[in-house]
Homo-oligomer: A and B are copies of this chain.
Amino acid sequence: MISDKTVARLSVYRRVLLDMQDAGQEHVFSHELAARSGCTAAQVRRDVMATGYTGSPVRGYDVAALAGSINDFLFHSEAQKVALVGIGNLGRALMAFSPRRNPRIPLVAAFDNDAAKVNRVIHGCRCYPVQQLEEVVESEGIRVGIIAVPSAAAQDTARRLCRAGVVGLLNFAPTHVWVPPHVYIENLDLSMALEKVAFFAGLRAPQKEISS
């Protein structure tokens, strides 16, 4: 019923609105929000409609109220605890970022199969051996998993997370991962994204670079 892309944009609007709030701005028009979010005014209005909020034709949207409405819409349920699997280069970067993250989506546990990386706390997040994955995910009630293990281990990691009760996955491994139909999975394939950029860059400047 509610589209994937609308949710993505609402998340962007929310961040922009919080910035506006910090800057003391009280009202915002759809075209303004659109410009700061990289989409069109009509799209903003459609998306806002989905949250049930209604603005005023004169003042536009009330920044605080719209931010609140989007918050209620996006984070309607209780906080969604997150587990990270794979404390490698990427995993550690994600952990370093977590303090700045949304408190409604706390990173509560990390797992690795390398004994040297576990049984400690990084940025407030406890690191466990991967053998304890099921136990910790179930006892903590974790519902979201981040896969940051090598491709070869991705499918098995996904399977274990889903069995343990996870219903949302963020997969960084450049591999297609099968999950049960009730599980939502989002793939963030960085290499693919870079190849895409390189492809279009190649199209846009097919001639040799003219130096300075």
A107's closest neighbor in chain B, by CB? B194
Interface residue ranges of A149-176 to B (CB < 8 Å): 165-170, 174, 176
Residue contact A170 to B194, C-beta cutoff 8 Å: yes
Say which residue of B96, B193, B203 sits within 8 Å of A186 (CB atoms): B193
Q: Is A57 an interface residue, CB under 8 A from the partner?
A: no
Residue contact B209 to A141, C-beta cutoff 8 Å: yes
Say which residue of B8, B96, B143, B197 sits within 8 Å of A144 (CB atoms): B197
Q: Is A138 an interface residue, CB under 8 A from the partner?
A: yes
Number of interface residues, chain A, beta carbon within 8 A? 72
Given the interface pairs A12-B192, A101-B191, A102-B195, the reply to whether A202 lies near B141 with Cβ below 8 Å is no
Residue contact B96 to A89, C-beta cutoff 8 Å: yes
Q: Is A4 an interface residue, CB under 8 A from the partner?
A: yes
CB distance from A190 to the nearest CB of B (A): 7
CB distance from A89 to the nearest CB of B (A): 4
A30 contacts across to B, CB distance below 8 A: none
Residue contact B8 to A143, C-beta cutoff 8 Å: no
A104–B202 Cα gap in the complex (Å)? 11
Q: Is A76 an interface residue, CB under 8 A from the partner?
A: yes
Interface 1/0s, chain A 36-48, versus B by CB < 8 A? 1110000000000
A165 contacts across to B, CB distance below 8 A: 205, 209
A168 contacts across to B, CB distance below 8 A: 197-198, 200-201, 204
